[in-house]
Structure 1
Amino acid sequence: TDGTIPVNSGSVSLTLNGSPVSVTPTKSGNVTTIKRAGSLTNLLPAGNNTATLIYGYTEGGAVSITNTWSFAVLPYAMIPAANAVPSGQINTAIPGFKVSVIQIDRSGDTNQGNGGRLPTGDQNRMPRPEIELINGNINPTNGLPYPNLADLSATNEPGIFDILDVINWNLNGSAVPAASGIFNGGNNFQDADNPLDTALPGLPGTGTSNAGLDNSVHEIRTYLNLKAGEYVMAVNSDDGFTAVSALDPHDTLGTLLGYANVGRGNANNPNYLPAPAAPSNFIPKPGTSQNNFAFGVVVPQDGFYPFRILYWEGGGGVNAEFLSVDKGSGQQALINDTAVPWAIKAYQNYSGTARPWVRFSVSPTPWDNRIQQSGPGPILAVGRTVNSTTSGDIANSSDATRPWADSVGAIVAHGVGDPTLRLLINGAQVAATLTTNGSDITVRYKTPLPSGSTNTASLVYGGTTNSWSFIVQTYTNLNASDAQPLSSATGGTRGFRVKMTQVASTTGYTQNSVARAEAQLAGILGPDISMPGPGPNGTYIYPGIINWNNNVNPNRSGAQIGNFQRDVYGAWPWGNHPDDPIPGVPNTTTNPANNNTDNIAAEVFAWLEFDSPGYYRFGVNSDDGYAVKVGAPGVTNGTVVASVDVGKGSSDIPFSVNVPQAGLYPIRLVYYNGGGGANLEYFSYDDTGNKIPINDTNNATAIKAFYNITAAPQLKFTSVSVSGGQIHLSVTVPSGTATLEQASVLTGSPSDWSTAQSGVTGTTTIDLPAATSGNKFYRLKQ
C-alpha cells in the first residue's frame, strides 16, 4: 500500500524458494498486488518454503526494501482421478463405514507383550498390523492362525460392522466409553461439533490383557464424497494408522496419504492437532518409527473416492478419530458428521462391477523387514518359539534388513481381464510374469536388480499407477574360475570340514568381529584351548547339517533355539532338526566349569553344489556373527560374500549371491561367538520363503555340500630354480591358457599384481629376471 510516497512502478517482485515468480503485479488505487497463481497443477512444495518480496520507492534516491518470510505446507498426496466412483454406483442412503476387526492373544497370560502381534520388534510398526489382519500370526502347536478374539456378535454381516455415523472411538481401562482426544463431548472452540466418544466395534474382546482391549486391528472402508481441491485430514489415534485411497477400499497399496508407524498416545489437547511433520516423515523407512496426525489430500475432480484406514492398538489406550480441517475457518469436524454442513460425507456401499485392488503384501514391503519376504503375497509370522516369546530367534536381526534383489511384485485381486496391468521399475516396464489364480493375478519380476540399488516399483492396474520404494541387499557375483565342474562331486564326500578354536583372551581385536575370528583361526591370538577333532589339523567332519546350539552342550539348559530345532510343538514349519552341541568346546581339561563357549571361532568349509547359474538366497542364524568367503580352508583373502561384525542373540541375517555358471564352489563360513549364548545355523531359502538347511540329506531340494571332491587337474608350479641371474618357473596348465602374474609386496589389493607373461599353456618353463633384492611373488591365474 502506498504511503505518502508511492511504490515505484516495476519495482515489485516475488521469489519463492529462490526462484522468481513469473507474475505481473497489479495496482488498484494505492494498493499493489503480486500473487502467485495456485492450482492443482501448480501446487506449492510440501514442507518449508521461503518467500521474498522486494519493492522500491524514491526518496532522495532509489530505495529498495526486501522482506522475507517462511511458512510450511502440509505434506500432501494427489489421489488419481481414476479412483473416483460414478455417483450412480454409490448408495447415498446408507452413510458411514464398513469395519473389520481382529484381536489376538497368543499367550493368554494377561501380558500384552507376550500375547501381541509378531514378528519381534515394535508391535506397533507396519507391516505387523497387516499381518494380524490377514490372520498371519501362526500358532506353532497346530500350524493354524491364532483365533480372532474380537466380539463379532454385533456385526451386520459376517465379520463386518456397519458404522452409520463417525469414527470417534475411545474405551478406558475398564472398557467403558470415556472422553478422550479432540472430540470428547466438551467445549472446543475449534470443533464445529463435539460429539461424545463411543465404543470401538468388536471391543472388548476375550483377550486377557487390559480388559480385553489390547492387540487389535480395525480396517475401516468407505467412499468419501469429495470436490476438486485440497483437503487437510487427520487420524488421531492410540496407536498407529495408515490412510490409503485406491480403486477399491480393500487395497493395501493404493496412494499412501498419511500414517503413524509407531506406538503412541493420541493427541488429547481439546483444541487442536499437533503440528505436521516434515515431508520426509511421510515416506516409509524400514526400522524407523514415524509419527504423523494430519495429512494433505489433493483431489483432481469431483467424485466419490474409496478410502481405507487401517488402525491398530498395541497396549494401553485405545482410541481413534477420523477428521478433516476446514481451510477457511480452521475448524475441525469428524468425517461424516451430519451436524456439520461442510463435513465430508462418507458412504458404505458401492454397486458397480468389481475393481482391481492389491492384496497384502507387495514385495518387497516398504515397511519393516523382520521376516525375509520371498515374493508378493501374505507374510506369515510363526510364534512363539521355545526360546523367545516374540520369536526373535527365527526372525531377521533387524527391522531394516534389506530384501532380496529378485522378489518384486504384487497380487492384484480382480486383476483378470485388466488390460492396463503391468509392472515398472524405476520408470521402465519390465517383463514380469503374470500368473492367474481365480480372479487374482500375481505379478512378479524375478530378474535380480543391481546389488545394493535403490529402486521404485510402480504397479499399473485399473488405469491407475501406485508406487513404492525399497533398497535391495548387497550381493556378490562369484567367479566362474573358482568353480570345479559338477562331475567332481562323483566320488566326493558329503558334509562339512570344521575347524574349531577357542582362546582365553581376544586382546588387540574387537571381540565380535570377523577380523578376530580370522586371526584366531590363524593362531595369532594365542594358544587354542578347544578340544581338537580327529581329522587333519584337528578338524571335525559334519556329514549332515550345521545346527549348533550351546544350550545343548554339557551342563547347559538344553533349550532348543532358532529355525531348526526339535519339534516340541508338532507343527513346526521347518521340520524336526534337534540342535547339536557346539563341537570342541568346552574343553573339559582347560575349562573345569564345562560350560564355557566364549571366544570361539570356527571355519566351516565345504564345496557347495550349484546345479545351475542364477541368484541364490542364503541365511545364517547365529549368536554372534559370521562371514562367508570363497576359498579353500585357511584362505582368508577370497571373494567376500557376506561379512557381519555384530554381537547379538540368535537371529537370521540373510545374504545372497549370483552364480555365473553351474559348478562346485569352495566356500568358507567363518563363525565367531564373543560371550554368552552361542548358536549357528546355515541354510538357504526357496522361492516360497521356506528355510532349508544346507546339505540336508533328507531334502532333495537342499543345496549339497562336499568336504571332499574329485578335483579336476589344477594350475601348478612343478619346480622353481634360480641360475644365471634368472628365475626358472616350471608350470603346468592342464587346459586352456593362463597368465603368470608377479608382485613385489602383498597388501591384499588386486593392484599388487602385474602380468609377467600371458598365454601360458601346457607344461613349460618360464624364464624371468631374478630379483636382486626384496621379495618376488608369482601366481598362475586363469
Structure 2
Amino acid sequence: MENNNRRKMKWSALAVGAVFALSAQAGEKTWDFETDPFDDFEYIESTQLDYIWGGQGFDDWGAEGNPDGFFSITEATGGTSTIAVLPDIDNGDFVKSFNMKMDLRMGNGTTDRPADGISINFARSSDPMLADVQGGSAVPGNAATGGAAETGTQTGVAVSFDTWAGNSLPDGPDIEGIIVRVDNKTVGRFAMPTRHGAADDITSLQTGPIGGSDAAPDAERGDPTILDWVALEVDVDELGSLNVTYKGNKLVDNFASGFFPSPGQIILMGRTGGANESHHVDNLTLTTQLAESWLVAGLDGTANGFTFSFRDVGNSQVDADSIVILLDGVDVSAELTKSKDGEFTHATYVGDTLFESGSEHTVDVTASGNDGRSTSVTASFTAQSYSMIPADLALEGVDTGTKGFLLFIKQKDGGVGNNTQERLDHLADDSENVADDFQSDDYTWTVDLINFDQDGNPQGEFRDSGNGDSMDVPDDYIPGIPGFTDSTDNITGFIQTVARIPEAGFYTFGFNSDDGFLTTVGNDSASQIRVGEFSGGRGASTTDYTVYFEAAGDYAMQSLWYEGGGGANFEWFTITPNKALLNDTANGGIQTFAALPNVPARVTSATPGNGAAGVSPNNNVVVTIEDAASKVDAGSVSLSLSTGETGTASKSGGVTTVTVDRDGALWSPAQEVTASLNYTAGGSERSVDWTFTVQDYPTLSKGRTDVGSGSDSGFEFRIFQTATSRGNNTADAEAQLAGTWADGEENVADPAGSETSDGPGVLFNVDLINMDQDGNAQGVFRDSGDGSSTDRVDDPIPGIPGLTDSTDAMSAEILAYIEFPSAGYYQMIFNSDDGFRVTETHGAGDAAGMELGVFEGGRGASDTQFGFAVIEAGVYPIRAIWYEGGGGANLEWSTTDGASRWLINDSDSNALKAFRSRSGTPSDVALPSSGGSIASVGLSEGNVVIEYSGTLKSSESVTGPFNAVGGASSPYSVEPTKAAEFYIAE
C-alpha cells in the first residue's frame, strides 16, 4: 500500500555553504513614533485606542519615549489588548527574511506579578489573525491560544515574550520567557524566570524594578518612567535561522526554527489580564529581503522517507538534476524521485524499511540553479508517529457470517471517573448495569456502523447532510440509552470487531467522541497494542492515529468509549486510504465482522493493561481468562510483577481470575511495572508480558499536625465578585481574589450573613462544598432521594446573586485543614462549572503550594479527579480556588475510593473531615529519598551521556514539571537537539 500519510515536520537549517545568493533589500522603514502611528500601520485594534500613542502627553506620565513619542501596546491596567499589523513595505513581493529592531520598555505593573506579554510575528498571508483585526476585534480570538495575544499567530514564525506562566499553548504549557513557535508548533522555550529585573538582567523579561521594591522604594506602581528602554532585535533568515538579541545579549543564537519563506505580514500584539504591566515600543525598524533567486521551501517527513522542496522565484529555478541528498550520512540521491508542481520542485525519497516511530533524522542537501547559484543545507525532520502491528497478530478462520461490530454498553447510576483507566475498571467491575438491555444479548448489540449520538442527532463528522458523499451518514441512537434511570450519562461502551486489512501499509483512523476513547489491536487484553486514545472529557471531537500493518489479513480491533455528563456520541472511521466509517464498504470503508478471535483461551481483562499510563499507585493487578476452544488449567496460572509481587488464581465456571492483591501498597511515582502471565489451555502453553506506567503523583508534606488536632468543623469560603467579567482562568481568578483585578474593581458579592474577612471579598463559614448558583441539583451530589452517599441537597453559593443581582464573574477561595486518618493514596474529585485549582498549604497566588488538581478554563458541571499520597497520617492545610465566568455556576469537592464518593466533611463515616482551625505546632513531613541520583554527565560522539540511578526524568524548564524518560536506562545517551533540556534522577 502506498504511504500517503505525510506530516509537516520541523526542518532545521543548521549549516549553509557555497551560497551565491541573488537577493535584494526589498524594504526598510523606521517608525520613531514622533507622530501618531494610527494612520501609518495597516491595522491597529486596541481596547486602549486613546493610549496607543505615547506622544499624546498624558498628565500622569507624559510623552516619555526614547525620546518623546512611543507606541503603547498596553498600559499597566487590567484587561487590555492590542493588535497592530505593520504595512506591507514590499508591495506584495515575495519576502524571504526579515530583521526587526526596536526599543522595548516592559514591566512595573500595579500587581506583584507581571502579565501577560507580547508577541512578534511573521504571519503567513492565510493566517486567521488577519481576519480578527479586519473584523474590528482587538482581542485575538484566532491567536495560537484564543484571546492570548502573547502566544502569537497560528502560522509563520511567532516569538513570544511571555511574562505569565500558567496558560496553555496548543501543544503544551507555556513558561515565563521567550517561546518560539512555527506554524502552530512550539519549537523552543527559553526560560527567563526573574521578575522585575534590571535593564542588564538577561534572566528577566522586564526592563526595570517594580514600584515600592528595594530597587525603587519611592516609585509608584504602574509608572513606566522608572523602567529603562532596552534594545530588542529579532532576525529570521531564509533558512529559518532565528536570532533574538535582548538587553545586549544574544539569547537565541542561530536557532533552527524550521521556518520557511512565504508571503506574509508582521503583527505585533500583547495584552494584560487581571495582573498587568506596561508594554511599550519605540524606534521600530523593519528590514526585509526580497527573494530574487530560487529558495529552499521546506521538508516533509514520513514514516519511511521524506520530500525536500524548492521554490521558483520568477525565472530562477533549481536544477533538479543537480540535487544531491544524504540521509543520516548515506547518499540516497540515486533513489530520489523528482517532480515539478507549479513553482515547486520536489525531491522525494521512499525507503524500503520504516523509520522508528517519531525518530529524528538529518538530511544534507546540495543543489544549484539555472542562475548559477548553488547551496548546501543541513536539515532535520521527525519521522511520522505510528503504531506497528506485526503480521503474527493476523487471525485465521474468522467467522465472517455477520458483518459489523459487537457493542457492549454499561451504564452506572452515579458518577464514574472520566478517564480511560477508570472506565476500563468500570467494564471489569461487578457494579450494577442500569442500561436498558432491550434487544441485546446480555447488554451486547450487533451493529453495522459506529456512528451514534444519545439523541440520534447529527454529531461529529459523519451526519445526515444530504450531499451524498461518504460522510453523509445519519447518526443512530446509542443502544440501551437512556437507561432504566432515564439518564444519558455515565456510559461506558466496548466495541469488538475483526477488521479485514486489504494490504500491508499505513492506515489512518479517526475516532470522534464525547467524551473519551481507547483503540487497541490484538487478540485479547494481554496482547493488545494501544494505537489511539483520548483520556478525559470533551465535546464531539476527533483524534486521528496512524497504524502500520505488516501484512494483509484479519485483525481483532477494540475500542473503549465513555461519557460522563452532557452530550454523548462516538464515531469510528478511517481517514486514509478513504474517509469512511468502518464497515461502510459502499463508501470505501474497511470491511469488519462481528466476531471474536478463535483462540484456545482468551484474556478478557487485564487491569492495568498493556501501555496503560497514569495508573494509580495502589492499584491491584487483576487478570481474567475465559475458556474458549480449550479450558484453562487453573493450576498452571501464574502472574508476577517486576516489583516482586505475585498473584493468586481461582476458577469459577469457565472464568479464571488471577489477582495481585497489594493491600494498599504504593508504587513509586512514574514507576514502570512489567506484568508476566503464564498459563496452559488445552495443552498449549502461553507466556505474555506487558508493561504499564504509574502516574507521577505528589505527596503531602507541608504543615502537618496530629490526627485529632482539628477544631471548628467546616470550611472558610471567601467569595469575590466583580461587575465586569474577567478571564476564565486561574491567573485572573487569583487576581480577582487578591482584589487587584481591573485595577482593584470593587467586590459586589452580597455580604449578608458573612463573617469578618481578613482579605478582599466576603467570608462565609460553610459545612460542605456542594453548591449551585440557584441551589438547584447540579453535578453528582444532588437531592435524588435514594439515600446514597451522593443523595445530598445543593446549597446556594454564599453571597450570590451579588449586589448587582448577577450570578457571573466570581471567584472563591476555600480554606480547610483536612484530616487524613491513615497513610495511603487519596483520590479527590472536584466537579465544577467553570474552573478550579487545589493546592497544598494555604498559600495564595505566587505563594500557592504544590498543585494537587486543576481544571483551567470554562466548562459545564464536570468532574476532574486527582490523587496524592499521604505517608504520615495527620491534619494538613489544603486550599482550593474556584471560579466562574458566565452561565451556570456550581462546585462540589469530594473523595472517592473508585466505587463510591463522599463530600469532604460529610456525616458519612467514609468522608474525610475538614476544619477551620486546629491546635498544635505544624511541622513538615520528611519525604523518603527515592535513591535516585545523577552520577555523571559527559559527551560522546556529539551526544550527552547521563549515568544515573533511579528514575530519569526530564523537562524543558528548570522549574519542571519533570516527567519520566520513556525506555531510559543508564547510561542514557541523548542528542542535544533542543534549545534546553533539564534532567533529574529520583
Q: TM-score, normalised by structure 2?
A: 0.40
- Higher normalized strand content (fraction of residues): 2
Q: TM-score, normalised by structure 1?
A: 0.48
Larger Rg: 1
